[in-house]
């Protein structure tokens, strides 16, 4: 089995997962064992699963509002949705993913980890019918902001937020999405850098409020 780097960044892991650290490790183990075979994660990612994917996803957990209903669009292996769900048992998570095999994995894993705050919905975001609408929507590595905003914003209630993980070109993506931002009437737009001084893999987030 691939060696995992659980011992890396113990302070960050303790801060982000607290008492849920063993559940986070089990998820990482399970993903390391089955992720490649199921096409969820590339072989090069396995040795850096913990810092690049798990801790990185967990950086979003403090942004989740207490008791919120959160949708993770294009959850794939469960990033960031399943990771944030295990760190924030007070909130409810809907993992929206169109691929059946990935949905099977997400359901299996949520049950294995004993997560009662996770629901898996097999759908493309543009076809998902959510009632009630979400308080917050997350996404990671799904598409550029100009395409992602029209997919995610309609799923969020007025006063709710989109929290979208992005790479280093986030500012250029936000500029390219200016028309969509205006048309979708987003307000309180922020670009956040998360994890600086906490984790080695920082992450950038586009956060905005839905009108
Ligand atoms: C590159 S993967 C990223 C998976 C995960 N978020 C991560 O960070 O590892 C993109 C995921 O988005 C899903 N996806 C693509 N188009 C979608 C859509 N229109 N609505 C919902 N999910 C979509 C794909 O099936 C895939 O699982």
Residue 1 within a domain: no
Protein residue with least CA distance to atom 19, ligand 1: 124
User: For the chain, first and last CA: distance in Å?
Assistant: 48
Residue 5 within a domain: no
Long-range contacts of 171-176 (CB under 8 A, 24+ apart): 173/144, 173/145, 173/146, 173/206, 174/145, 174/206, 176/144, 176/145, 176/146
Which has the closest alpha carbon to 82: 97, 67, 99? 97
In the reported structure, the alpha carbon of residue 78 is separated from the centroid of ligand 1 by a whole-number distance in angstroms of: 10
ipTM more than 0.95? yes
Residue 183 within a domain: yes
Number of domains in the chain: 1
Q: What is the CATH number of the domain that holds 200?
A: 3.40.50.150
Residue 3 within a domain: no
Q: Is the CB of 84 within 6 Å of ligand 1?
A: no
- Please give the number of the atom of ligand 1 that sits closest to the Cα of 99: 25
Residue 84 within a domain: yes
Residue 4 within a domain: no
Q: Is the CB of 97 within 6 Å of ligand 1?
A: yes
Q: Is the CB of 74 within 6 Å of ligand 1?
A: yes
In the reported structure, the alpha carbon of residue 11 is separated from the centroid of ligand 1 by a whole-number distance in angstroms of: 30
In this prediction the pTM is 0.96
Tell me which residue range forms the domain holding 155: 10-210
In the reported structure, the alpha carbon of residue 74 is separated from the centroid of ligand 1 by a whole-number distance in angstroms of: 3
pLDDT in tens, the chain (211 residues): 455 677 678 888 888 999 999 999 999 999 999 999 999 999 888 888 998 999 999 999 999 999 999 999 999 999 999 999 999 999 999 999 999 999 999 999 999 999 999 999 999 999 999 999 999 999 999 999 999 999 999 999 999 999 999 999 999 999 999 999 999 999 999 999 999 988 888 999 999 999 9
Residue 55 within a domain: yes
Taking each helix axis as running N to C, give the angle between helix 21-34 and helix 10-17, from 0 to 180 degrees, rounded to the nearest 10. 110
């Amino acid at each position: 089995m691939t060696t995992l780097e659980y011992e890396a960044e113990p302070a960050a892991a303790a801060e982000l997962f607290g008492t849920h650290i063993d559940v986070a490790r089990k998820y990482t183990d399970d993903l390391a064992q089955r992720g490649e075979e199921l096409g969820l994660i590339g072989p090069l990612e396995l040795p850096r699963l913990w810092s690049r994917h798990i801790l990185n996803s967990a950086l979003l957990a403090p942004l989740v509002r207490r008791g919120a209903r959160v949708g993770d669009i294009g959850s794939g292996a469960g990033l960031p949705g399943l990771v944030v769900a295990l760190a924030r048992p007070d909130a409810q998570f809907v993992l929206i993913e169109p691929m059946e095999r990935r949905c099977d994995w997400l359901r299996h894993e949520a049950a294995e980890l004993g997560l009662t705050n996770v629901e898996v919905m097999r759908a493309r975001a543009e076809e998902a019918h959510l009632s009630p609408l979400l308080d917050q929507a997350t996404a990671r590595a799904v598409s550029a902001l100009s395409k992602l905003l029209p997919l995610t914003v309609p799923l969020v209630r007025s006063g709710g937020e989109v929290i979208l993980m992005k790479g280093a070109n986030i500012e250029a993506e936000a500029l390219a999405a200016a028309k969509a931002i205006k048309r979708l009437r987003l307000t309180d737009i922020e670009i956040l850098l998360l994890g600086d001084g906490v984790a080695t893999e920082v992450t950038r987030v586009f956060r905005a409020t839905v009108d």
